[in-house]
Amino acid sequence: MPLPPVMFCAQQIHIPPELPDILKQFTKAAIRTQPADVLLWSAGYFSALSNGDPLPVKDRIEMPVATQKTDTGLTQGLLKVLHKQFRHKEFVELQDLEKKWKNLCLPVEKFRALVKLDPCTDKIEWMKFLALGCSTLGGSLNTAMKHLCEILTTDPEGGPARIPFETFSYVYNYLASLDPEVHSAETESYLAALKETIDSKHTGLIGLSDFYIPRRAY
């Protein structure tokens, strides 16, 4: 004899008071981030939420980038997400970095190809990985530095995107050293000229208008 259907009334169903807000914030985060694999991204989202870690969430919806040197799947927004997760560390474990990369639905083979640009064993300096990521987004070395400034700056969006000149110089030197077509003397001369400009402002900060002039569209 089949069991009678179980009837519930509103008074019998307990809804955790925090559940609606959790689901609301999750939905907004998913819409902003637009993950390629919602289930994979969700696992990373709720894992970070339960551990009190920075969430894998973009600040805003981002249009796809079609000018990358290689198809890493990366965008400036995704690099910024990774930076929020690792900026408190000087060096990061490759295993942990690869996990966060996967949680953003980025192809693991592209991650390993990126790391091979500056081979390391089990750790990599976070600022160097961020620099390598910026360099894959297309364009020149100065374009890579533009992405870096926009990721690291504390200026409001659309502002001068200033960062400490010391940080700029370190990353520029690093990326230039990986390019066989860029000579060290050329790099030193360029940075010395920039430093004179920055020193005259007495801020120690360098922004987009100090070094980056976008190419005109004709």
Residues 10-20 pLDDT 10s:
567 888 999 99
This prediction's pTM: 0.85
Show me where the domains of the chain are located. Answer: 37-58+68-126, 139-212
pLDDT digits (tens, 9 = 90+) for 103-158: 999 999 999 999 999 988 899 999 999 999 999 997 789 999 999 999 999 999 88
Question: Which carries the bigger pLDDT value, residue 212 or residue 216?
Answer: 212
Q: What is the DSSP string of 18-45?
A: THHHHHHHHHHHHHHH--SSHHHHHHHH
**What are the structure tokens assigned to 67, written together?**
């000018």
CA neighbor of 211 nearest in space, from 127, 157, 197: 197
State the pLDDT confidence band at 67, using cuts at 50, 70 and 90: very low
- Pairing verdict, β 91-93 and 123-125: antiparallel
- Tokens encoding 95: 């295993």
Average pLDDT across the chain, whole number:
89
> Between 38-51 and 94-103, two packed helices, what is the crossing angle to 10 degrees?
130
- Pairing state between β 123-125 and 205-206: unpaired
In 5-17, which positions are buried (b, 16+ CB within 10 angstroms) versus exposed (e)?
eeeeeeeeeeeee
Could you tell me the pLDDT band of residue 55, with boundaries at 50, 70 and 90? very high
Distance, in Å, from the CA atom of 122 to the CA atom of 98, rounded to the nearest integer, reads 11
Return d(Cα 218, Cα 208) in angstroms, integer. 22
